[in-house]
Amino acid sequence: EVQMVESGGDLVQPGGSLRLSCAASGFTLSDYWMGWVRQAPGKGLEWLANIKQDGSEKYYVDYVRGRFTISRDNAKNSLFLQMNSLRVEDTAVYYCGTGETWGQGTLVTVSS
Amino acid sequence: DVVMAQSPLSLPVTLGQPASISCRSSQSLVYSDANTYLSWFQQRPGQSPRRLIYKVSNRDSGVPDRFSGSGSGTDFTLKISRVEAEDVGVYYCMQHTHWPHTFGQGTKLEIK
Q: Please write the tens of the pLDDT for every residue from B39-75.
A: 999 999 999 999 999 999 999 999 999 999 999 999 9
Residue B9: which residues within 8 A CB-CB, separation 6 or more? B105, B106, B107, B108
* pLDDT tens-digit series, residues A74-112: 999 999 999 999 999 999 999 999 988 999 999 999 999
Q: Which of A75, A71, A93 is nearest to A8 (CA)?
A: A93
Residues in chain B closer than 8 A to A61 (CB atoms):
100
Task: Find residue B94's DSSP bridge partners.
Answer: B39, B103
d(CA B19, CA B44): 16
d(CA B112, CA A78): 43
- pLDDT grade, residue B78 (50/70/90)? very high
Which residue, among A3, A36, A39, A47, would best test binding to B if mutated, counting the most B CBs under 10 Å from its CB? A47
Residues in chain B closer than 8 A to A101 (CB atoms):
51
Q: Which helix (H) or strand (E) holds B90?
A: strand B89-95
d(CA B47, CA A92): 14
Residues in chain B closer than 8 A to A51 (CB atoms):
none
3-state helix, strand, coil in chain B (%, to 5): 5, 50, 45
Nearest CA in chain A to B108: A44
What pLDDT score does A31 carry?
93
DSSP category for residue B101: P
What pLDDT score does A99 carry?
87
d(CA B90, CA B78): 12
Burial class (CB in 10 A: 0-12, 13-18, 19+), B12: exposed
